[in-house]
A and B are shown apart, each in its own frame.
Chain A
């Protein structure tokens, strides 16, 4: 990292990771979000692979201390069953993170694909047009219900369980992606460069996958990142009601922990019990939100290029400044004699 950010002259075309780092460094909040997300992911990985490194106690291992306040041995204290709260919060991390990314990811793929189709092949009167209308009307039906209530109703039908709740959330979640992607596709597909690609003989499917998709990716990825946090909150809310998984149990989950702790002991006497899983949700959500804001800058070649040193030749050849008008820059490069067309001469 240190070498990448040093002010030594950089050769042409910096490595994308270097550019990525520079963009982040220019936005302190995004950098914070990115580091936090990275930390969360690494910790989650360690907990998933080798829990004993970071987690001293098992999910249902009694410590012998009941409702102990936070201490060095028990950073978040212990609960009424003498379980270590810190260990349980940490053990829930891989699951909750996976749920957030997984639910948002599946919604992104389903909704994104449908949105691309609905937005691009929308010529009225054709097969594509009818498909497009069908997709959008089904989407509207889903969007007309409050998603949390709908997810709860679906969970009721599917039965309790982590996977069932995840499916229920996905079922309520994909329509937002359809809307977003369709809107972006509609905006992009009428731009001249799409017509230019068509004129060059690029087939429709290739235009969609190469030209249109690339230009809707940016808002999509930003939305997806922000959405991971929202999904996590929604999932935790459903889990809080107690339909996802049971706590205490072999696999802790933040929503279920919250539900159990706020009912097991008075919050005023033992605030750390509720605080621990609540803080975990909060930190995860805020990390992804901050990262999402910064991603926009990273994905846009216009802002990204500003952070590449030495890639573009310096002005005035490339970027005509106000004091070096465009015409001069152009003639430097063009080597074409300036002959103004003269309408009057012929008329």
Chain B
């Protein structure tokens, strides 16, 4: 298997609001390889959006604090990256698709300008006009080691070309029409008909599905090696949701990026992801290949969650729900955070936090891609009603 693009180790994120501290994400570990899709599922307020925004360091700090852990993206620990270097990482490696397509496009700019900005950022980094991030063990792929770090330096080389390197720089100097062609190509990539017309429209003139396509095009135009989709379909109605999902699934094969797919919708995750992580109250309580987790859930919460998913062909009786309520993350329950609502809870669950242990006892415990559950009594879960 290829090297993981992203390794998240024991990541903890807290919010400090007034005197209170909210433990939004606790000890989350993940690994994503290129071309893989990892789905994170959980109910509202379980920390999945915080996780999504913490990886590219998009959380406002303060109030958010990355307390411990590491986020190693292509050899660079993003937790240690300075504030000033963050834009360089975000623009050239990690693409984001957000939840609200209605507000995620700047209302004052036309579609063309929105996409152009993203493409220009990448292009100027490739040109070495804008400084690229060079920290970590190795530089990013597209940021060729810039021999000229200033605009003036690059320009002087273009004006007086001599030698193969300068020729290459001149060849890559895109004109307006080249930028326009590139913008159009990304619009076609996200299956937009008549992109020439769409270019000149403002976001408010587009439907929700169209806007989300533009968002996806924006994220892809930076050629990311990691794409984080934070509930990309939640704000759309079901048919549009299906179209966007189909598009994303097709694009997964085309762009070969690793994808972290965040959703509260089990069906969406089942459709898209290779592996699934179930989050509850800031922790990953169960993890594993999608089919296995759905077929044989080994955490009481996962089991209850699957049971609560409405199925359209069963219309008898009320919908199932989980007793109790989501814990207040400023004072999370001790031990296993699910124990106040769990049918299997015993004294040990109140005292200690169960580790993510492999379901199959014979499996190597260090592997991160096998089915694991954070429950002391995971063997009893299949017996639950």
Contacts and interface: CB of A to CB of B under 8 A. Distances in A.
B78 to A, nearest CB: 13
Given A125-B62, A192-B104, A200-B90, A341 B209 contact: no
Interface in A278-324: 301-302, 305, 311-313, 318-320
A193 B210 contact: no
B232 to A, nearest CB: 12
Contacts of A331: 239, 243
Contacts of A74: none
Interface stretch (B94-102, B145-153, B158-166): B94-102
B237 interface: yes
B87 A202 contact: yes
B310 interface: yes
B105 A201 contact: no
Interface residues of A, number: 52
Contacts of B242: 336, 338-341
Interface in B73-113: 87-92, 94-96, 98-100, 103-109
A343 B98 contact: no
A302 B204 CA distance: 7
Contact of B121 (A191, A200, A301, A335): A200
Contact of A202 (B92, B117, B192, B239): B117
Interface string A237-249: 0000000000000
Nearest to B290: A346
A191 B103 contact: yes
A336 B251 CA distance: 13
Contact of A334 (B118, B200, B209, B265): B209
Contacts of B105: 193, 196
Interface in B195-249: 197, 200-202, 204-210, 213, 215, 218-219, 222, 237-243, 245-247
Contact of A347 (B56, B104, B238, B294): B294
Contact of A343 (B88, B90, B237, B265): B265
Interface in A197-231: 197-204, 210-211, 214-215
B248 to A, nearest CB: 10
B364 to A, nearest CB: 27
Nearest to A334: B243
A312 B246 contact: no
B107 A347 contact: no
A11 interface: no
A250 interface: no
Nearest to B106: A193
B311 interface: yes
A15 interface: no
A341 B267 contact: yes
B251 to A, nearest CB: 11
Nearest to A124: B62
B313 A344 contact: yes
A201 B100 contact: no
Contact of A200 (B118, B193, B246): B118
A341 B265 contact: yes
A193 B104 contact: yes
B91 A200 contact: yes
Contacts of B204: 301-302
Contacts of A124: 62
B363 interface: no
A332 to B, nearest CB: 8
A63 B176 CA distance: 65
A192 B98 contact: yes
B268 interface: yes
Contacts of B237: 326-327
Interface residues of B, number: 74
B9 to A, nearest CB: 22
A332 B207 CA distance: 12
B58 interface: yes
A146 interface: no
Pick from A204, A305, A338 the residue with the most CB of B within 10 Å: A338
Interface string A153-178: 00000000000000000000000000
Contacts of B104: 192-193, 195-196
A330 B209 CA distance: 7
A48 to B, nearest CB: 36
B172 to A, nearest CB: 18
Contact of B56 (A199, A333, A339): A199
Nearest to A205: B87
A318 B205 contact: yes
A335 B193 contact: yes
A106 interface: no
Contacts of A311: 200
Contacts of A346: 266-267, 270, 290-291, 294
Nearest to B90: A201
B103 A326 contact: no
Nearest to B312: A344
A347 B266 contact: yes
A199 B270 contact: no
B202 A199 contact: no
Given A123-B62, A193-B103, A200-B117, A330 B310 contact: no
B207 A320 contact: yes
B271 interface: yes
Contacts of A199: 56, 58, 90, 94-96, 98, 219
B311 A343 contact: yes
12 contacts: A196-B105, A200-B90, A200-B91, A201-B121, A201-B122, A211-B106, A311-B200, A337-B246, A341-B265, A341-B268, A344-B314, A347-B294
Task: Report the 3 A-B pairs with minimum CB-CB distance, sorted nearest first.
Answer: A201-B91, A344-B311, A343-B267
Interface of B: 53, 56, 58, 60, 62, 87-92, 94-96, 98-100, 103-109, 117-118, 121-122, 191-194, 197, 200-202, 204-210, 213, 215, 218-219, 222, 237-243, 245-247, 265-268, 270-271, 290-291, 294, 306, 309-314
Given A327-B237, A343-B311, 18 more contacts: A13-B200, A193-B105, A198-B58, A199-B96, A200-B219, A201-B87, A202-B91, A214-B108, A215-B108, A301-B204, A312-B197, A312-B205, A313-B197, A319-B205, A326-B208, A333-B192, A334-B247, A344-B310
